[in-house]
Amino acid sequence: MNITFCCAETKSEPWLVGLRAALPAAQVDLWQPGAPPADHAVVWAPPQQFFDEQPQLKGVFNIGAGVDALLKLRLPPQAVVVRLDDAGMSVQMAEYVCHAVIRHFREFDAYEAAMRAGQWSYRKPRRRADFAVGVMGLGVLGERVARALQMFEFPVNGWSRSAKSIDGVRSFCGAEQFNDFLAATQVLVNLLPLTPETRDIMNRETLSQLQPGGYVINVARGAHLVDEDLIALIDSGHLSGATLDVFRTEPLPSDHPFWQHPQITLTPHTSARTLREESIAQIAGKILALEQGYCVAGIVDPVRGY
């Protein structure tokens, strides 16, 4: 069995060493143009040339949860695309979102600014019941985030394409319940996959339906959000701010207005990083399962886009 590794912006040697250790019977090599054919590929942001030269691939394993960029390429028709289910990312995502929600709810940004200005002052505590958090996307990461938020006793809403049932989460599904979900939400957390249907889903019309003083946390993809609409709604006072970890162009251009906006908190796409050891173990297990004819979790439906 031959496995090829093609991951842009990733140090290849630790992955190659790990994959070889996890799959000692396999030949694992770094892809170069003109490389011999492989059975499976481990990839992140590969070029089209890679797939043009590897039309025989049976499995394509993406070292991340998002596959939107991969699905834009022409892939071998018989190859199954497999994404990571978790591999340590869900707990990181839960940490990030809970931190962002709590920082906003407790107004720690205002306290920090006051202390830096030499001001010792208190703010009136907010009612937790008034801060319903709405999680868009209830996959592996979204469900973990929703459950983590419950531990802090926030009311939690969830919206997904199809019906989901999570204890303690008020669930909404489908286009017919989307507006009701938004109207019931004070803090909106986006964990949707990026598809043609979800692109620009956070725009002036949808974000205007959040409760007054609403807050936006985007940890999915930058193309979910219409940047200028978010800024306009914050400046108008309808939204109180946002925490953004993903952007339409990354790194974020130096002249983008997000950098200087006082009510927008930025992080450099770091909410949930791929953990190498956990990812290698999961990928190796799935490769062996596919080779033995078993079904595996995380197979992407190219029609749905996730």
Catalytic positions, written as ranges: 221, 269
CA angle 179, 182, 185 (to 5 degrees): 155
Closest CA to 274 of 141, 86, 60: 86
Can you tell me whether residue 252 is helix, strand or coil?
A: coil
CA within 13 Å, CB half, 204: 7
Residue 44, C-beta contacts closer than 8 angstroms, at least 6 positions apart: 6, 7, 8, 9, 10, 62, 63, 64
Residue 42 pairs in a beta bridge with 5, 61
- Joined tokens for residue 128: 């937790």
Q: What is the DSSP letter of 258?
A: G
